[in-house]
Structure 1
Amino acid sequence: MLRFLRALLLATLLTPAATVHAAAPTDPQAETMLLLQTASGGWSKHYRGKAVDYRRPLSAVERDALRAPGRKDDATLDNKATTSEIRYLLQAHARTGNPAYLQAARRGVSYLLAAQYPNGGWPQYYPDRSFYRHQITFNDDAMTRVLELLQDIVESRDEAALLAPEFGSAAQAALARGLDCVLATQVRIEGLPTLWAAQYDEVTLLPAKARSYELPSLAVAESVGVLRLLMRQRDPSPAQVAAVEAGVRWLQAHRLPDVALERVDAPEQESGRDVRIVQRPGASLWARFYDLQHQQPMFVNRDGVQVAQFAAIPNERRVGYAWYGVWPEKLLRSEWPAWRARWGVSPHGAPAPAVQ
């Protein structure tokens, strides 16, 4: 049944949006998106070896090359690809009424539905399964953005309402499977639920390694996005409430108090700059990654070697990557308390009993 569903969804991708393009108002960036949409219905994050820039007009030669058959299909969810194009195309259609933009967005949603695993997860790339691209991926909020878009369709929110008549039921089912996968992948350490990893083996649902410096770990920035997704659910289930409460408790327990990041000029360093941790009363920090054994901040060189201290990372990695941040700050300060109040969640993490 799943194979049939995938085949049916992919069949809708065979009619490029350009074929339904009529004499309608156009949007320059949306026009480029039509050309860069892959055969599977998604979008790549790269064009000619560089990050896609939809603000740059394509030459006639480039447009002809993109229309030619046999182009590589490297559609992905990484770096906001595919979900961002779908949203932009819906907005462009709302502005212009151009049917080609809505058709391309439909193909994009069909791509997302076809890419989902039976267990509810999404790979970073589809259909490409090389390297680590087949892993279930929360890294850079890849899977979370898909679920947010599907929920917008289910709720007929903003321009996503245009997709609700066609995809509402399928989006609802995919969202439910995805949320089940979210609950199943919350990492347990010594029996206690913690946060989420950036990548998972799509079969075992265990945290997995991606690039050499992306070791299995708890990923704070991505976990904040997951918690916000769970907190968005209407009438959350007891399991969803428990997952949020456990994640928040972990973030509270692992806050680094009274410290902040400071960027400084450092002529002696190869980059001429440096980043250091300084004392600052009242400030807070969290590491980007925490190890799965001791739940302590984790730092990894490009060669995959884990180092114990932030200062031990080469300068290039210290200044070029967000090893520390304040990602959970707003969630803990205002969003989580408001969510608790809205749903009557007690201090023990369960919905408060109704007053008789």
Structure 2
Amino acid sequence: MKLKIFTLALGLLAVHYSAQAKDTLAEKMMIYQLPNGGWGKQLVDKSVVNYTLPVDKALLKKIKSTGDDHATIDNNATSREINALIKAYSATKNPEYVQAAERGIRYLILMQYDNGGFPQYYPNTGLYRKQITYNDNAMINALTVLYNVAEAKGDFSAVSSSLKEKSKTAVQKGIECILKTQVLQKGIPSIWADQYNEITLQPDKARAFEPVSLATGESVGIVRFLMLQPVTPEIEKSIKAAIQWFRKNKIEGYSYNVTKQNGKTVRVLAEDKNAVIWARFYDIHSNKPLFGDRDGSIKYNYNDVSEERRNGYSWFGDFAEKLLAKEYPKWLEKNKVSE
């Protein structure tokens, strides 16, 4: 009798645990996961992936019709889901979550080029999707996930040991690619472009309004990633060169204000003696701020950009302010590196 009661209690406990070991967001993310392990930012009908929507029959049909060609690391896709699943596993200990995350990690390792770069999409190679992509921090997001896996950071300690080793190799390859793609100006390293030809490792253009150029926001993300790594002469040189570039090319006396007027976004570059900003893009030779337009033309005067693109894209920001003021000095002190 006692044995039956004990067995029944264990059964009730198991039912209770399984009921608690669910995470609504993680459950949805597993539904959206593509066969190759990655995630898309859009569904087959080009609607944006939105995890707040209830998954009814119609939506489920669209999800299941979305193929591997939609798998991407653009707009935080795939890295976002892996991070969320690992967090959900930590909270619930539901093994399905870490297994789904591991499939995503395998996808990241699979999509990496032999030269260490990451395309924006894989296996889709259309248009600019095959380019090595720093734009919107795509490659750095992927490498940060793999770094957390390799180093067993926090909740990522749950990932299998075999994936940790593979991730460590992937991170080293990624660092080598980063160092190779830092743009040289008369032999002196500057910062990085948004995207690169996957074979030649030369800066390349993407959308019409994203010309060949140096990209400040993404370069700040790259420097932050390099500062996580053990200091080598190559990494130290790369970080210091980028910091010098940011110091030399800041724009003082202007602020960039974003407001709403009659329901529309309006972006205004205004004089402000206390402000420091950087342009989104700079000419890779002259370091002049530049701006791309829908027709593929390049402008060097912000006010010459069409109204649609001027207000529809973020052209300036305080991108490197925190990096210069706090993060870089802290990195110097922590690693006992001299300026």
Instruction: Give yes or no for TM over 0.5.
Output: yes
Q: Which amino acid aligns with 1:34?
A: M
1:36-55 superposed matches below 5 A: 36-47=32-43, 48-55=45-52
2:109 alignment counterpart = 113
TM superposition shift of 1:164: 4.9
Q: Which amino acid aligns with 2:54?
A: P
Q: Structure 1, residues 226-252: CA drift from partner, whole Å, max 9, x if none? A: 000011113x10000000000000000
Contact kept in structure 1, 2:246 and 2:320, CA below 8 Å: yes
Q: Structure 1, residues 153-208: CA drift from partner, whole Å, max 9, x if none? A: 12211111111523111111111010000000000111111000010001110001
Query: Pairwise CA RMSD of aligned residues?
Result: 1.9
1:10 alignment counterpart = none
Tell me whether 1:226 sits opposite 2:222 in the alignment.
Answer: yes
How far apart are the structure 1 equivalents of 2:264 and 2:94?
A: 49
Contact kept in structure 2, 1:78 and 1:140, CA below 8 Å: yes
TM superposition shift of 1:319: 1.9
Comparing 245-254 and 161-170, the one that deviates more: 161-170
1:1-356 superposed matches below 5 A: 25-47=21-43, 48-64=45-61, 66-67=63-64, 71=67, 73-234=69-230, 236-263=231-258, 274-347=266-339
Contact kept in structure 1, 2:23 and 2:92, CA below 8 Å: yes
How far apart are the structure 1 equivalents of 2:260 and 2:67?
A: 45
Check 1:305–1:173 CA distance in 2 against 1; reply closer, same or farther (3 A cut): same
Q: Structure 1, residues 105-156: CA drift from partner, whole Å, max 9, x if none? A: 1100010111111111110000111111111000000110111111111221
TM superposition shift of 1:64: 5.0
TM superposition shift of 1:278: 2.3
TM superposition shift of 1:279: 2.3
How far apart are the structure 2 equivalents of 1:266 and 1:94?
A: 44
Contact kept in structure 2, 1:38 and 1:73, CA below 8 Å: no
Check 1:71–1:254 CA distance in 2 against 1; reply closer, same or farther (3 A cut): closer
Unaligned stretches of 5+ residues in structure 1: 1-21, 348-356
Check 1:100–1:278 CA distance in 2 against 1; reply closer, same or farther (3 A cut): same
TM superposition shift of 1:320: 2.0
Q: Which amino acid aligns with 1:316?
A: E
Q: Structure 1, residues 217-270: CA drift from partner, whole Å, max 9, x if none? A: 000000000000011113x10000000000000000001112112346768xxx
TM superposition shift of 1:93: 1.5
Comparing 242-251 and 145-154, the one that deviates more: 145-154
Q: Which amino acid aligns with 2:137?
A: D
Q: Which amino acid aligns with 1:141?
A: N
Contact kept in structure 1, 2:149 and 2:163, CA below 8 Å: yes
How far apart are the structure 1 equivalents of 2:271 and 2:61?
A: 57
How far apart are the structure 2 equivalents of 1:272 and 1:179?
A: 41
TM superposition shift of 1:273: 5.7
Check 1:303–1:61 CA distance in 2 against 1; reply closer, same or farther (3 A cut): same
User: What is the DSSP-based 3-state SS (H/G/I as helix, E as strand, rest coil) of the residue aligned with 1:262?
Assistant: strand
How far apart are the structure 1 equivalents of 2:67 and 2:48?
A: 17
Comparing 315-324 and 239-248, the one that deviates more: 315-324
TM superposition shift of 1:74: 1.1
User: What is the DSSP-based 3-state SS (H/G/I as helix, E as strand, rest coil) of the residue aligned with 1:275?
Assistant: strand
Contact kept in structure 1, 2:288 and 2:300, CA below 8 Å: no
Q: Structure 1, residues 4-35: CA drift from partner, whole Å, max 9, x if none? A: xxxxxxxxxxxxxxxxxx95632222122111
How far apart are the structure 2 equivalents of 1:71 and 1:148?
A: 26
Check 1:336–1:72 CA distance in 2 against 1; reply closer, same or farther (3 A cut): closer
How far apart are the structure 1 equivalents of 2:61 and 2:292?
A: 43
How far apart are the structure 1 equivalents of 2:95 and 2:257?
A: 50
TM superposition shift of 1:323: 0.2
Check 1:72–1:163 CA distance in 2 against 1; reply closer, same or farther (3 A cut): closer
Contact kept in structure 1, 2:69 and 2:121, CA below 8 Å: no
Q: Which amino acid aligns with 1:53?
A: N
